[in-house]
Chain A
Amino acid sequence: MNVDLRILRYDPERDKAPHWETYAVAADPMDRVLDLLIKVKAENDGSLSFRRSCGHGICGSDAMLINSRNRLACRIRVDQLGKKISVAPLPGLPVVKDLIVEMSGFFGKYRSVKPYLINDQPEPERERLQTQKDRARYDDTTKCILCAACTSACPSFWARPEYVGPAAIVQAHRFIFDSRDEGAAERLEILADENGVWRCRTIFNCVDACPRGINITRAILEVSSAIVGRRG
């Protein structure tokens, strides 16, 4: 089948503003959008730039705005989208070139929530013990691949780029609810902020966008509940 692939192109060295280009691409219904992008790069325009690595939805490189929703280009098939496909860079993040956005701010926010185990007790000889129930408590949020699909789909983030964003809260959640961690208080302190959890308006765009199927909003609300519980 033939697909009209519309791509929002931008070359900072040549263009003043992003503009749409349309490519007619011969595609198999089982092709993924990433395959089409690779094809356009090989056959139509070698300068088309986008990030990709693993090719099967696990590294988080190729989150982009596809038919008006954030998804991973390597996880969405042509037959799920139809004959008209539009691809643009992730919304709300500064565009560097074509489909590549500036990610350092995103990772900076990730770092700001202390995303690492905090436990100053002397380490035991063997592994620390953890019950299966305690392990299950934070299982959902360990799945995050830091693709930024959620944060960049959040209207609250578009309005205020200072918002720490769902991805960072997910990462904080992963530790706050880990029975081995002792840094919950510090992280809750960081997130109890105008630009922390209070900026979430339960919009759920994040959940819809997450390629890992994480119930992000639940994680955020569990963190706000923990803050309320601690202060109240």
Chain B
Amino acid sequence: MDYPFDAIVVGAGGAGLWAALELAREGVNTAVLTKLYPTRSHTGTAQGGVCAALGNLEEDHWEWHMFDTVKGGDYLVDQDAAEVLAREAIETVIELEHMGLPFNRTPDGKIDQRRFGGHTSNYGEAPVRRACFAADRTGHMILQTLYQQCIKHGVKFFDEFGVVDLLFEGGEPDAGGRAAGVVAQRLADGQLHTFRAKAVLLATGGFGRMFRITSNAHSLTGDGVALCYRHGIPLQDMEFFQFHPTGIVGIGILLSEAARGEGGTLLNDLGERFMERYAPKLMELAPRDMVSRAMYQEIRAGRGIGGKDYLYLDVRHLGRKVIEEKLPDITDFARIYQGVEPLTEPIPVQPTAHYAMGGIPTNVSAEVTRDEKSTVVPGLFAAGECACVSVHGANRLGTNSLVDLLVFGRRAGRQMARYAGGVERPRPIPDAVEAVRAELEAIRTRPSSGESAAAIRTDLQDVMMDKVGVYRDGKMLTAALARVRELEARHDRISITDCGSVFNTELIEARELGYLLDIAHATVSGALARTESRGAHSREDYPERDDKKWLKHTLAYRGTDGPTLRYKDVSITRFEPKPRTY
């Protein structure tokens, strides 16, 4: 089947939904394709808040927000983009309120705001109340509100349609081709469909599932990112992956930064508040990359709890009232998933793979770019966690991801509407689905004696966690690279037992594993090449930041023999790089 549209949005998280909403308002004939029901998107798990310099409770300015973002990202942030982010954060949050988002309120009825790691007043002076929130379910409310508005504006949703390929007209992107649509598999019957459109947005979210311990959903396998990569579009800054300090041991479920914001402390086996040694001023509220590193050092020095690979998050001293009223979700998670009672026991935690700073390179209009000169791929857009604008640089600040979704989701929608108004719809592409069909059939029909996807996935997650985690060095990364190559070879021999077409989740998972392998490969290569430590990328063999050599973005191109790396300049407008101390 072939469906002609004017615009297609792939992914119905915060970024995709806002783009779809803009398109619908502009009257552009749009389809949203999502492999999950929209309300299942991972945006719904965000708890903490969304930052905007509203100044509802104390003085605040978007310039301060921009500065914090740039500094938090260890100066790898593109400052033109950070400026857009900080400025438009304000109007998008207000617009969300107009759409009905139930923000918590101040006593005089305005949007309530709270403090969050790394957000300061007057360029780093003191913490500032900048995070707007709806209890501890800000992301949930953003997702719901945007979905509601899409329903109101009659957006067409194709629920449980997994996009498996991108279509281009006039050659592949590197030959100047333009986006022409996507191929999607309807999960309910396994059929492949082509969706033709002038403008295609990728908003498929992150890919934390390449790590063993992650806060990310099972469905976050980087589909959009990998598909771009396979079509010759480079991936930017993949070596920067954020580890959140407080994940539940073994499973990685996130205990929000709010726990430390409210005064929770981190303890080692000796009962010491070890952050004293690493960040004497900010202690537990230092940026995430720093806290995660400190935790790893403690564990390595044998001061993990019982000598094992975790530490304690202690909130007992906060008292029942604070714990139950302000940290209900955290309390709930600790009780359910660890069987720990936070009122009377410390909670075992360990860093958990959380957020991809890197992704599909785009400009501030969310147009995908394909080289170091930022040449635009006509008709192809990306926004949200899968994109790299780059507003997060080498390390994202808490709450800035949601802002990213709102600001650049909205910009994507507007730019797509503009673009779609000025071009012809691509012509039907003969045999558009054949390439993917062949790939899927090959997996489906291979005798069932081949490799198992589950086993390869476990191996991949282990390598990435153990060798490409919080700390890296040349040796570990070289070993990881070899291992990823080996896993790719095994993936070519994968076979499955389910030969059906209805909800063949085994087939889908096998394909998703392929995406993860591609992404892992680019990540490891970028990390191996970058011989410095910056933000979330910490090389033990190169512990210093090296602005002379490395103040530049990595672009990883897929090659037959692994990625080729090129580099792109960082845009610096207002703030010259300075040492990053807190």
Which residues of A does B touch, CB under 8 Å?
11-14, 30, 32, 41-43, 45-47, 49-61, 75, 77, 79, 96-98, 100, 103-104, 107, 111, 114-117, 119, 123, 126-132, 135, 138-139, 142-143, 145-146, 175, 178, 180-181
Contact = CB atoms under 8 A, between A and B. Distances in A.
B98 A46 contact: no
B258 interface: no
B529 interface: no
A225 B501 CA distance: 48
Nearest to A128: B97
B308 interface: no
B139 to A, nearest CB: 9
B134 to A, nearest CB: 7
B108 A58 contact: no
A13 B444 CA distance: 15
B36 A115 contact: no
A56 B144 CA distance: 18
B218 A53 contact: yes
Interface in B146-162: 148-149, 151-152, 159
Interface in B7-63: 36-37, 39-42, 44-45
B428 interface: no
A77 B336 CA distance: 8
B109 A42 contact: no
A129 B110 contact: yes
Contact of B100 (A56, A104, A126, A178): A178
A72 to B, nearest CB: 10
B445 to A, nearest CB: 15
B209 to A, nearest CB: 10
A83 to B, nearest CB: 18
Interface stretch (B355-363, B492-500, B549-557): B492-500
Given A46-B506, A117-B100, A54 B498 contact: no
Given A49-B503, A52-B218, A130 B253 contact: no
A129 B500 contact: no
Given A46-B496, A115-B148, A117-B148, A59 B137 contact: no
Q: Which of A30, A43, A181 has the most CB of B within 10 A?
A: A30
B110 A127 contact: yes
A100 B452 CA distance: 23
Q: Which of B45, B103, B134 has the most CB of A within 10 A?
A: B45
Contacts of A49: 498, 503-506
Contact of A11 (B110, B135, B500): B500
Interface in B485-541: 496-498, 500-506
A16 to B, nearest CB: 15
B91 to A, nearest CB: 10
B508 to A, nearest CB: 10
Contact of B44 (A58, A97, A111, A128): A58
A32 B248 CA distance: 14
Nearest to A213: B332
Given A59-B217, A111-B151, A117-B99, A54 B503 contact: no
Given A117-B148, A143-B140, 4 more contacts: A30-B338, A53-B40, A59-B44, A61-B37
Contact of B218 (A55, A175, A180): A55
Given A56-B45, A143-B137, A61 B40 contact: yes
Interface string B240-264: 0000000000010100000000000
B98 A139 contact: no
25 contacts: A11-B500, A13-B500, A32-B337, A41-B505, A41-B506, A42-B455, A46-B452, A47-B497, A52-B218, A55-B217, A59-B36, A59-B217, A79-B339, A96-B188, A97-B500, A97-B502, A114-B152, A117-B148, A123-B98, A126-B94, A127-B97, A129-B108, A131-B109, A135-B102, A135-B105
A56 B135 contact: no
